[in-house]
């Protein structure tokens, strides 16, 4: 292939960031299971620690296996750089640590994964980072939430658990008027279905545990720097725009430009907090990404078939799946996710809370567990599990009311999935 040709998505999913191992010739990226790396000499070591040269120092900060994963996800998202970390929650924590000072605020969509609602609304309070909630179905709520203390806006491209599609471009306009970065959690969509940076996002985060890894065998997170934000604006982001004493007074944005945010997350966040991704987990996620396009196609095809079945079942009150014509997010799905509306969605079973528990207790092929994005189909009743720490009002706002069941549709035969759900629904009295 000529050097001036831009590889397609499917090619990048297999090849981005990877080369045969220069020592052994191994074609698959090796697992560099080591804690630290040898320096060439004293000058080489000094230049690495002063950020005057790039290279490996200590796996807490970076590792060759993780570096391939970082370059691959950055390429798939269209970002300038990426940082791999131990989990999606770790990714969120490092992002906000890099942006926030005590007393600052950020705006977040109410339509979020329950664990993120808890992290933002409870744990972040200890750092005096204060969340203000907004509604993705009402863009004005984002506009109205902006104050002089606002430092960022956070949304999910496809919301978990409800499968709602977010109007990223509209919220990006709010962020730009406020002079703050837009952070998009792209976990459920993956860059195969949606690339938030193309719609005005500045930072993308992933729980790579889900569809990127795809096989339910590893925990990982990734931060992608879009390279689009001016971090010197009004000196609102001192970690990036002011001299850093721990690196000889260099100014990160001045030195590293459009990948300064990723450098800050790595060389300060990873260095000091240590939520490091293990090389073995990076290896597993890399293998998963190689089949991401194929899996996402099948996930979406199966999800649409299951959603159509449920929408016609007499024991189902409603189905929220943006891929269904008539769904209120159908047009947004066509705009942001033209290849498919994802495989995670919710439905309401008639009979409420107890009926929901009956359904998840009587499936055979579906696995009842707290994860999404597996090759296997998964089911959960959020109100009694992942979202049980929320109030009734928060449950409703997050799309996780008492009658809600969340599905993550896998890549099995769709007829078998439909038969399994039908048997479980017949158990409801």
- Whole-number percent of the chain with pLDDT over 70: 98
C-alpha span between 378 and 375 (Å, rounded): 9
Q: What is the pLDDT of residues 225-247, one digit of tens each?
A: 999 999 998 889 999 999 999 99
Q: Are residues 86 and 214 in the same domain?
A: yes
Mean pLDDT lowest among 161-170, 307-316, 348-357: 348-357
Total residues belonging to the chain: 429
Each residue's pLDDT tens digit, 74-101: 999 999 999 999 999 999 999 999 999 9
Last residue of a domain, one of 250, 265, 288: 288
Residues 176 and 304 occupy one common structural domain: no
Average pLDDT over residues 326-341: 96
Question: Are 275 and 305 within one domain?
Answer: no
Q: Give a yes or no: residue 73 inside a domain.
A: yes
Q: Do the Cβ atoms of 206 and 91 come closer than 8 Å? A: yes
Domain match, 334 and 277 both: no
Query: Looking at the 3D structure of the chain, how many domains does it have?
Result: 2
In this structure, are 171 and 197 located in the same domain?
A: yes
pLDDT at 340: 97
Strands 404-408 and 378-380: antiparallel
- Domain, as residue range, for 219: 9-288
Burial of 41 (0-12, 13-18, 19+ CB in 10 A): exposed
Mean pLDDT, range 10-30, rounded to an integer:
93
Q: Which two tokens stand for residue 90?
A: 């770790």
pLDDT of 390 higher than 80: no
Whether residue 212 is contained in a domain is answered as yes
Give me the chain's average pLDDT, please: 94
| 382: pLDDT strictly greater than 90 | no
Do residue 282 and residue 298 come from a single domain? no
pLDDT in tens, 122-178: 999 999 999 999 999 999 999 999 999 999 999 999 998 788 999 999 999 999 999
* Residues 282, 156 share a domain: yes
Residue 73 is predicted with a pLDDT of: 98
Instruction: State the DSSP H helix or E strand holding residue 397, giving kind and residue range, or none if neither.
Output: helix 392-397
CA atoms of 205 and 156, how far apart (whole Å): 9
**One-character DSSP codes across 91-111:** HHHHHHHHH--TT-EEEEESS
Same domain, 195 and 319: no
Per-residue pLDDT, 426 = 93
Q: What is the pLDDT of residue 397?
A: 67
pLDDT tens-place string over residues 185-194: 999 999 999 9
Segment of 312-321, 344-353, 385-394 carrying the highest mean pLDDT: 312-321
219 and 337, same domain (yes or no): no
pLDDT in the model for residue 398: 64
In a domain, 176, yes or no: yes
Mean per-residue pLDDT, 312-322: 95
Q: Is 165 exposed, middle or buried (0-12, 13-18, 19+ CB in 10 A)?
A: buried
Based on the fold, state whether residues 32 and 57 are members of the same structural domain: yes
Residue 1 has pLDDT above 60, yes or no: no
Of 288, 304, 320, the residue that ends a domain is 288
- The CATH number covering residue 304 comes to 3.90.1150.10
Instruction: Label residue 14 by pLDDT band (50, 70, 90).
Output: very high
Radius of gyration of the chain (CA): 22
377 falls within a domain: yes
Last residue of one domain, picked from the residues 263, 288, 313? 288
- For residue 247, the model assigns a pLDDT of 94
197 and 320 in one domain?
Answer: no
CA dist 222 and 75 (Å) reads 13
pLDDT at 3 over 80: no
What is the β-pairing status of strands 378-380 and 182-185? unpaired
| 383 or 169, greater pLDDT | 169
Q: Between β-strands 105-109 and 130-134, what pairing exists: parallel, antiparallel or unpaired?
A: parallel
d(CA 200, CA 99): 18
> CATH code at 150?
3.40.640.10
pLDDT at 425: 95
Establish if 2 belongs to a structural domain. Answer: no
Q: Is position 353 within any domain?
A: yes
Residues 276 and 314 in one domain: no
pLDDT on residue 393:
77
Asked if residue 311 is part of any domain, the answer here is yes
> Strand 150-156 relative to strand 367-368: parallel, antiparallel, unpaired?
unpaired
In this prediction, residue 396 carries a pLDDT of: 72
pLDDT at position 387 is 67
């Amino acid at each position: 292939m000529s050097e001036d040709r831009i590889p397609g998505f499917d090619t990048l999913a297999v090849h981005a960031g990877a080369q045969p191992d220069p020592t052994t010739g191994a074609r698959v990226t090796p697992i560099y299971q080591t804690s630290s790396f040898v320096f060439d000499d004293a000058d080489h070591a000094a230049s690495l620690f002063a950020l005057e040269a790039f290279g490996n120092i200590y796996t807490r900060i970076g590792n060759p296996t993780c570096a391939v994963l970082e370059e691959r996800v950055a390429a798939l998202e269209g970002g300038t750089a990426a940082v791999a970390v131990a989990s999606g929650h770790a990714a969120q924590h490092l992002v906000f640590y890099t942006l926030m000072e005590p007393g600052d605020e950020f705006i977040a969509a109410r339509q979020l994964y329950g664990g993120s609602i808890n992290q933002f609304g409870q744990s972040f309070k200890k750092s005096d980072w204060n969340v203000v909630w907004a509604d993705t179905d009402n863009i004005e709520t984002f506009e109205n939430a902006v104050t002089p203390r606002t430092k960022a806006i956070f949304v999910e491209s496809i919301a978990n658990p409800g499968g709602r599609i977010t109007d990223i471009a509209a919220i990006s306009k709010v962020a730009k008027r406020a002079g703050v970065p837009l952070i998009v959690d792209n976990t459920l969509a993956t860059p195969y279905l949606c690339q938030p940076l193309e719609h005005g996002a500045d930072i993308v985060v992933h729980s790579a545990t889900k569809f990127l890894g795809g096989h339910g065998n590893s925990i990982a997170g990734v931060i992608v720097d879009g390279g689009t934000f001016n971090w010197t604006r009004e000196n609102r982001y001192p970690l990036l725009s002011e001299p850093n004493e721990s690196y000889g007074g260099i100014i990160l944005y001045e030195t590293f430009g459009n990948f300064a945010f990723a450098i800050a997350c790595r060389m300060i966040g990873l260095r000091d907090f240590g939520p490091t991704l293990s090389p073995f987990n990076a290896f597993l996620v890399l293998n998963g990404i190689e089949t991401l396009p194929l899996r996402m196609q099948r996930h979406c095809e199966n999800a649409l078939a299951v959603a159509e079945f449920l929408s016609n079942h007499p024991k189902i009150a409603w189905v929220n799946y943006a891929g269904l014509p008539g769904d209120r997010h159908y047009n947004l799905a066509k705009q942001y996710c033209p290849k498919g509306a994802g495989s995670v969605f919710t439905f309401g079973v008639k009979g409420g809370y107890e009926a929901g528990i009956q359904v998840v207790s009587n499936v055979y092929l579906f696995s009842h567990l707290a994860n999404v994005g597996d090759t296997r189909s998964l089911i959960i009743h959020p109100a009694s599990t992942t979202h049980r720490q929320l109030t009734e009002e928060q449950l409703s706002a997050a799309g996780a009311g008492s009658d809600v069941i969340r599905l993550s549709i896998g890549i099995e035969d769709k007829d078998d999935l439909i038969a399994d759900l039908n048997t479980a629904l017949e158990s409801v009295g």
